[in-house]
Amino acid sequence: MPLEAIKTISEAEETARRKKAEALADAKRTVSEAESSARAALEDARTRAADHIKALSQKADDEARAVADKLSAQTEAQKDAMRAAAEKQLERAASAIAERIVSS
């Protein structure tokens, strides 16, 4: 084989090795960028999920507080009604006792 052909083959082999190394480096860079992008997307999803959970928790707390306030108001109204009824019965009982004492 002439020296020129050997030189051409060697250059072609060297070019192929260089292109292979560049392709491998590009592939590694692409994988690294994809991993970084995936990590960022995952962190963003975690942050959004945490914010959503916080908002849902706050909403649940607000709703629970509203229900508790409503029940408290209802209970207070029932207590007032029962107290008024008891006071009326007490007045009737006192009158009945007074009538019995006076009648005896």
Q: What is the pLDDT of residues 26-40, one digit of tens each?
A: 999 999 999 999 999
Provide mean pLDDT across the span 59-75. Answer: 98
- Please tell me which residue, 45 or 4, carries the higher pLDDT value: 45
CA 55 – CA 49 distance, rounded (Å): 10
Is the pTM above the cut of 0.75?
A: no
Taking CA atoms, 86 is separated from 12, 64, 71, 72, 82, in Å, by 108, 32, 22, 21, 6
- pLDDT at res. 69: 97
* Residue ranges per structural domain of the chain: 1-73
| Percent of residues, the chain, with pLDDT higher than 70 | 99
Q: How confident is the model at residue 4 (pLDDT cuts 50, 70, 90)?
A: confident
